[in-house]
């Protein structure tokens, strides 16, 4: 399978064809895959986030996400079209984000793609391996228990060299202790107080 990418640029869109610059590159599907993997190796990120949710049975919503940020939207549109998933959004400062944050799309498209086109850098290989383990835990509903949350936090600690986190591990786990204490105070000896 071969894919043709055509980029057109023109100083004057109303001008004659001879003033139009045309660049045409033909790449195999494999070459495109390696291009995207290389691009994601440098600019992409695998993340696991925790969001406080009062409307959930448990205090946290746990989400897995693959994203790439870039100033050029067209490159991200190209990646989105090739992976056939995800959303693109922009920030007020002109940065564009391509992100895949539904578990189903991550399992169906992102993980198989990067298994077929592995990363070259050891750091991204490590982050991707950890990300796959966390996605497996999320898929098995492990995040619905405190024990599962502890496993996810332990794995996440090693991703992205620790990275910046909105909520630290202690803050996340303390909510479970607060919930347990509230339940113990509300129900004594199986009787609601």
Give 163's DSSP letter: -
Query: What's the whole-number mean pLDDT along residues 152-172?
Result: 79
Q: Determine the number of helices (DSSP H) and then strands (DSSP E) in the chain.
A: 7, 8
pLDDT at 83 over 50: yes
Q: What is the pTM of this model?
A: 0.76
Domains (range + CATH), the chain: 2-180 (3.10.28.10)
Report the percent of the chain where pLDDT is more than 70: 72
What digits encode the pLDDT tens for the residues 10-36?
334 444 443 323 323 566 788 899 999
Query: What's the whole-number mean pLDDT along residues 104-128?
Result: 97
Q: Tokens 């640029």 correspond to what residue?
A: 9
d(CA 23, CA 129): 37
What is the pLDDT at residue 52?
83
What is the pLDDT at residue 165?
65
What SS3 class is residue 56?
A: coil
């Amino acid at each position: 399978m071969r894919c043709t990418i055509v980029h057109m640029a023109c100083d004057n869109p109303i001008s004659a064809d001879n003033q139009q610059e045309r660049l045409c590159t033909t790449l195999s599907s494999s070459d495109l895959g390696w291009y995207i993997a290389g691009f994601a190796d440098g600019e992409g990120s695998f993340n696991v986030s925790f969001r406080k949710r009062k409307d959930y049975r448990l205090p946290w919503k746990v989400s897995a996400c693959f994203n790439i940020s870039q100033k050029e939207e067209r490159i991200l549109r190209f990646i989105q079209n090739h992976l056939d998933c995800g959303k693109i959004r922009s920030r007020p400062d002109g940065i564009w984000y391509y992100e895949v944050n539904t578990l189903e799309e991550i399992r169906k498209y992102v993980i198989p793609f990067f298994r077929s086109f592995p990363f070259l850098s050891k750091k991204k290989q490590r982050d991707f391996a950890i990300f796959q383990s966390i996605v497996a835990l999320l898929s098995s509903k492990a995040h619905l228990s405190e024990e599962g949350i502890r496993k996810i936090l332990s794995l996440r600690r090693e991703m992205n060299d620790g990275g910046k986190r909105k909520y630290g591990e202690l803050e996340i786990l303390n909510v479970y202790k607060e919930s347990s204490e509230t339940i113990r105070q509300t129900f004594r000896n199986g009787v609601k107080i």
